[in-house]
Amino acid sequence: MAIDMITAEIIRNYLETVSEEISKTMERTAVSNVYNEAHDYSCGVFYHDGTEASLLARAAAMPSHIFASLISVQTIFDYFEGDLEDGDVVIVSDPYFGGSHAPDWTVMKPVFHVGQPVFFPGVRAHMLDVGGPVSGGYNNMARDIWQEGFRIAPMKVHRRGELQRDVWDLLVANSRVPDTTKGDFSAMVGGCQIGQRRIIELIDKYGIETVLESVEYILAYSERLLRDQIESWPDGRYEGESILDQDFAGTEDVPVRVTIEVAGRNLSVDFSGTHEQVAGFVNSTPGNSASHVYAQFAGVCPDVPVNSGFFRPIRCNFPAGTVVNAQAPAPVGNCTVCIGADIGQATMNALERIVPERVGCAEIDLTIVLTMGKDRRYGEEMFINFDYLASPTSASGAYGQDGWGTWSPLFCALYLTTVEMMEVQAPFLYRQAEYAIDTAAPGQWRGVPGFHMIRDQTEDMVDDGKVNVLVQMNRHPLQGHVGGRPGVGNHVILDLGTPQEERIDDWAFEHPIGSGRLLFAQSQGGGGWGDPLKRDPDAVREDVVDEYVSVAGARRDYGVVIDPETLEVDREATRSLREGGPEVENEA
């Protein structure tokens, strides 16, 4: 019987709504501001046909979570080999069991039909702390996986509907913030249970046969649409590259190289020639690597629903023993944002040669500022804070659109935590948190301006506070495209304005911090798109009025002459400058 496409579309959208509902459950019931403020988690619905797992639907999600979760689902299914039962809830985190890095927990609940697990609503979330030697899990001195945090092989947290208390206690015991972990973990489980309920309602309404036919339609539809796109691209081999500043263990300039080959309706993405795996904690697992590749294609093909059907035409090769497919027990703690961003950039760099009018930065470049200490307001309870305000901007320009807001489009599921909530949840006082002038990467369409933050700590912070800083994209910032300029680069300054002031271009470990010890962070914006000299002068004027660009910057970077008094464009001078004027430089 031919599938009723209208019903199939209803079911496809229903599953996406289920994902959204799981997400809202998580957001509204989680304890940590990493979830209820920053939304650093992802939710989706997966399907297993007995052989292979597929992603069917996802809520607004982090690509490095949700796409990588596919491998976790497959791993769980293989691991339990028919031992899954109705009422089970399963957790896994280990990077070498399909995970990304130790803090990313994946929780799934199988939905059964006629004794077989068919659907898996799931949540992947970055837990605030998972034990290990360093609070927050980012141990830049890790040289093996055991130095990063508690490793979780697939385990049942619920068995046939019954909480396995010993497993629960084990997971909570290996966190420095057990009460937060309990609350967040409960939220993840609750989200999965909501997902299960809704999927059962779907099956009850339409019948399993119709739902399964729709599943195949959902996957085939996306596959067909993407293959149609690929077919429209010129056949050939296209290369791209991105360089990671360093591995935090002494190796500098780690290149990620990719070759995309288009052949008819097929496409391969080959990372041969990429740097071998490194001593530092920036190695990536295949799941994480694939997630960043898929994210770029999702960015250049925004009209195609992203699910496993979308992934089918994309054949990835991650050579074993390279930094994009490290072998155990290599450390991987910073792979989701460090080397992950370079995997994405290299791919987008290659795509620029295929579909230049569609490219832009779809990556994230978090400078990690982790603060740990005790807060007098809460009985000197220990806190661990991940400060998203240290690195909130990475949105690039794209054809027809300036970068705006904060993070790049595919990471816009991540919300910027409000200053007010940060000051409630940690003993901080923000002195500055704003766009910075002359930091937007120039382009015909510019990147979002960079961001400057100055943060103090209040007297409520007990004396032994410490901060860990990990800077990336300092020397190799986010790339521009099609002639657009790169971002200005990230850096941090500790003890700003004192004789001990220290600029951090790479990392700092357990630096003392407290009241009066200001921390400054510059976050670059994403790269520009297109030649800055082609930017509409009126748009440059708007940027000057908005104080994104200075009068001098308008001249220097865009060749636009603006009267400093009237802020009006001198069109003759601009034309003259652009046609034969001096070189423009980005000195931001």
Residue 169 as a binder of another protein (CB under 8 A): the answer is yes
* Choices 3-11, 161-169, 198-206, 212-220; region in contact with another protein by CB under 8 A: 161-169
With CA atoms as reference, report the closest residue to 313 among 374, 245, 362, 266: 266
Give the residue, chosen from 17, 28, 116, 133, that forms a contact with another protein under the rule CB under 8 A: 133
Residue 164 as a binder of another protein (CB under 8 A): the answer is yes
Q: Measured from the CB atom, is 150 or 407 closer to another protein? A: 150
Residue 329 as a binder of another protein (CB under 8 A): the answer is yes
Residue 161 as a binder of another protein (CB under 8 A): the answer is no
Q: Measured from the CB atom, is 255 or 319 closer to another protein? A: 319
Give the residue, chosen from 3, 7, 146, 462, that forms a contact with another protein under the rule CB under 8 A: 146
Give the residue, chosen from 147, 251, 418, 432, that forms a contact with another protein under the rule CB under 8 A: 147
Q: Measured from the CB atom, is 129 or 247 closer to another protein? A: 129
Nearest approach in angstroms of CB 442 to another protein is 45
Nearest approach in angstroms of CB 78 to another protein is 11
Nearest approach in angstroms of CB 48 to another protein is 19
Give the residue, chosen from 144, 228, 276, 568, that forms a contact with another protein under the rule CB under 8 A: 144
Instruction: Please check whether residue 189 is in contact with residue 183, taking contact to mean a CB–CB distance below 8 angstroms.
Output: no
Alpha-carbon gap, residue 291 to 351, rounded angstroms = 16
Residue 228 as a binder of another protein (CB under 8 A): the answer is no
DSSP per-residue letters across 11-78: HHHHHHHHHHHHHHHHHHH--SHHHHTT--EEEEEEEE-SS-EEEEEE-S--HHHHTTHHHHHHHHHH
Residue 176 as a binder of another protein (CB under 8 A): the answer is yes
Instruction: Please check whether residue 67 is in contact with residue 343, taking contact to mean a CB–CB distance below 8 angstroms.
Output: no
Instruction: Please check whether residue 416 is in contact with residue 38, taking contact to mean a CB–CB distance below 8 angstroms.
Output: yes
Q: Measured from the CB atom, is 180 or 210 closer to another protein? A: 180
Q: Measured from the CB atom, is 170 or 424 closer to another protein? A: 170
Instruction: Please check whether residue 66 is in contact with residue 41, taking contact to mean a CB–CB distance below 8 angstroms.
Output: no
Residue 195 as a binder of another protein (CB under 8 A): the answer is no
With CA atoms as reference, report the closest residue to 550 among 437, 402, 436: 437
Q: Measured from the CB atom, is 122 or 559 closer to another protein? A: 122
Nearest approach in angstroms of CB 50 to another protein is 21
For the window 385-424, what string marks contact with another protein as x by the rule CB under 8 A?
Answer: ----------------------------------------
Instruction: Please check whether residue 546 is in contact with residue 540, taking contact to mean a CB–CB distance below 8 angstroms.
Output: no
Rg (CA), the chain: 24
Nearest approach in angstroms of CB 33 to another protein is 22
C-alpha to C-alpha distances, 448 to 80, 349, 393, 437, 438, nearest whole angstrom = 46, 19, 7, 11, 11
Residue 153 as a binder of another protein (CB under 8 A): the answer is yes
Q: Measured from the CB atom, is 176 or 481 closer to another protein? A: 176
Q: For the chain, how many helices (H) and strands (E)?
A: 14, 21
Q: Measured from the CB atom, is 139 or 367 closer to another protein? A: 139
Contacting another protein within 238-267 (CB under 8 A): none
Q: Which residues contact 429 (CB under 8 A, 6 or more apart)?
A: 423, 455, 456, 457, 458
Q: Give the pairing of strands 104-108 and 53-58.
A: unpaired
DSSP per-residue letters across 122-169: EEEEE-S---SSSGGG--TT--SGGGTS----SEEEEETTEE-HHHHH
Residue 179 as a binder of another protein (CB under 8 A): the answer is no
DSSP per-residue letters across 332-374: -TTTTTTHHHHHHHHHHHHHTTT-GGG-------PPEEEEEEE
5-18 burial, b for 16+ CB within 10 Å, e for fewer? eeebeebbebbbeb
Give the residue, chosen from 21, 27, 40, 94, that forms a contact with another protein under the rule CB under 8 A: 94
Give the residue, chosen from 208, 263, 320, 328, that forms a contact with another protein under the rule CB under 8 A: 328
Residue 302 as a binder of another protein (CB under 8 A): the answer is no
Residue 455 as a binder of another protein (CB under 8 A): the answer is no
**Which residues contact another protein (rule: CB under 8 A)?**
79-80, 94, 96, 131-133, 139, 144, 146-147, 150-156, 164-167, 169-170, 173-174, 176, 328-329
